[in-house]
Chains A and B, each alone.
Chain A
Amino acid sequence: MSQMDRNGALVEARDVAKRFGRIEALRHVSFSLGRAEVLGLLGDNGAGKSTLIKILTGLFPPDRGEIRWEGEPVRFSSPRDAYDLGVATVYQDLAIVDLMSIYRNVFLGRETAVTKGWGPFRYIDRRKAHAHARKAIADIGIEIRDPDEPLARMSGGERQSIAIARAAYFNPKLLILDEPTSALSLRQTGRVLKSVEEARNKGISIIFITHNVHHVYPVADRFVVLSHGESIAEFPRGAHSKEEVSELIVSGKELAQKLGHSNAAS
């Protein structure tokens, strides 16, 4: 299993560690993620999830260990580096502007994808922007009524899905979703999970971060459990029941060892 991943993995973390002053945010974190795979990254508050995301998105490098990208070790010196390689992130705050329309949000900061003209006379091709926004959102399984509608009118789930659609539109290889469902109702969660599946079907690898296994269980191919800065277990779906995974998140290392996870021994 791990041999196969090593050959075909898109991204791999090997014994990554990061400390802030006296606090060891990450101690031993290893996992690998294949292409078009959904990885559920699970852990309780303070387990190190957000530190790990920040390393993966290039906000800061790890102190120890390495990140491999398509088999090669990489060291991101800025989020731009990570983005250029194909890492897109949807943060919890979604980075959307409620007063702006859907299509303006989709192309925010990347307007040149839908501009025409030359130099100072470059302008946004509204027809193209509308069509592309509509398609980007349809691609992840959401019907929108009107790309001119402001985001303020969308439900929480729709807004999350639009943020995912925006990230997926620019063809990333890896999409990192930070707690995409934590503020949503059950029905809205279902909608977002559908978007995640559609993004995977486009061939995008996804890291889905959550503390609630019930949210990610239906879509994840594999899971990594973080506890106190260590990856204590990595396993495919079906290896453990939801209840066992929940137990792992809460009780940590001892249970992982009992269940026979070698990661925990390191």
Chain B
Amino acid sequence: MAVEEQAPTPGADREAGRPVRGARGAWPIARGLLIGRPESGALFGAAVMFVIFAFVAPSRDLFLTKNNLAGIASIAAELGIVAMAVTLLMIAGHFDLSVGSILGLSSLLVPYLIVNYEFPSWLALLVAVGVAATLGLVNGVLVVGTRIPSFIVTLGTLLIWRGVVNGVSGGGVVSVPRGDPLFDLFAYRFQSGPLQGYQVSLLWYIGVAVVLSFVLLRTRFGNWTFAAGGNERAARSMGVPVDRVWLVLFVLTALAACLTGLIQVGRFSVVEATRGQLYELQAIAAAVIGGARLNGGYGSVVGAALGALMIAMIRQGLVLSGIESYWLNVAIGALIIGAVIVNQVLGRSRPQI
């Protein structure tokens, strides 16, 4: 089948009389990127969207400004970090709807402990990370231990942790003490150099994408992740410790939410009780736009990163075009449905992991 597909490709290698299989010309690589991978649709979509906003839309002159690009990078990074972890969990066959609440709770804890209990900032950060990891573990243990679908378990914890955030903050805002150099780790704005104007979260975004992609595609744990979601029974009978994979991924997802929480603590001067609300849906949207299958077993970290980038571009693009933000969700909703249709069409031609 592969040979038939390759036969009509205008590869230079074929003209040279060598078999096309294994050819490493520019075209096979481009074709591999365009239709060969779960993230192909997102890559194509992100490129088209960029071209539209940067060269076609009436507000195109504003789009390529440093300010705007840095804004997009910042939104994409914060959402992307969560979406990439959520994607791994979805590939392994589970959902985490509580990421927004975990983000909110770990964001809130940092200023709350510093202001009310005079915690040193490093300790407040550590507590936030520890609490997030624990909440992730709680999700995982509940799912693995009770066999209740993760959708339900994390719907429950979504409400519980959001309730805790509201209760602790009294529904109001907690202001973040400024000027702590520790926050620069998460929310430093580069003053010079090639990244001048961008937030350091861009580096976290890229770093997380590289590390998680590598883990998914090149390690034993990645193989187990695909197998746990693709066919749990088969994975178990081949000796894959499926429950352990799930526990690790629930903790990882919570830690990713915490990381984005810390980035936002550094970026904004207050933490409000609604921090992170609906983030879970945006993260799942980014994952799905990036090619993740809702039933598990298939998806891409890079795809989720691109999905988050697309959501960020729409958000900023609409603002620049002077369209009221009420319409944002209309665009994102349409994007999700469109992306799934495109992914299905591409997927039919060649799913590949």
Contact = CB atoms under 8 A, between A and B. Distances in A.
A152 B298 CA distance: 13
A110 B240 CA distance: 9
A101 B233 contact: no
B223 A104 contact: yes
Given A99-B298, A123-B214, A115 B230 contact: no
B157 to A, nearest CB: 28
Given A145-B1, A149-B2, A99 B297 contact: yes
A100 B220 contact: no
B238 interface: yes
A1 interface: no
Interface in B1-30: 1-3, 21
A243 interface: no
Contact of A97 (B1, B21, B218, B297): B297
Nearest to B241: A109
A126 B234 contact: no
A131 interface: no
Contacts of A110: 238-239
Contacts of A107: 223
B351 interface: yes
A187 B214 CA distance: 41
A145 B218 CA distance: 22
A95 interface: yes
B351 A99 contact: yes
B240 A148 contact: no
A101 B223 contact: no
B191 interface: no
A95 B214 contact: no
Given A94-B234, A123-B218, A108 B227 contact: yes
Contact of A93 (B219, B223, B226, B233): B233
A124 B218 contact: yes
The winner among B3, B293, B352 for most chain A CB atoms within 10 A is B352
A112 B235 CA distance: 16
A101 B353 CA distance: 6
B237 interface: yes
B238 A108 contact: yes
Interface in B205-222: 214, 218-220, 222
Contacts of B67: none
B351 A150 contact: yes
Contacts of A93: 233-234
Contact of B234 (A97, A101, A122): A97
B329 interface: no
B302 to A, nearest CB: 17
Given A112-B220, A124-B220, A145-B2, A98 B233 contact: no
A24 interface: no
Given A96-B234, A97-B234, A145-B3, A111 B227 contact: no
A109 B352 contact: no
A95 B223 contact: no
B196 interface: no
A146 B2 contact: yes
B220 A115 contact: yes
B186 to A, nearest CB: 24
Contacts of A100: 223, 226-227, 230, 297, 353
A104 B226 contact: yes
A145 B21 CA distance: 9
A12 to B, nearest CB: 26
Contacts of A149: 1-2, 352
Interface of A: 91, 93-101, 104, 107-112, 115, 122-124, 126, 145-146, 148-150, 152-153
In the A-B complex, list the 7 residue pairs whose CB atoms are closest, starting with the nearest: A109-B238, A111-B220, A97-B230, A109-B239, A95-B234, A99-B297, A97-B231
5 contacts: A91-B237, A97-B297, A100-B226, A146-B21, A149-B352
Interface of B: 1-3, 21, 214, 218-220, 222-223, 226-227, 230-231, 233-235, 237-240, 293, 297-298, 351-353
Given A104-B226, A126-B218, 12 more contacts: A93-B233, A94-B234, A95-B237, A97-B226, A97-B235, A97-B297, A101-B353, A108-B235, A123-B214, A124-B222, A124-B223, A153-B1
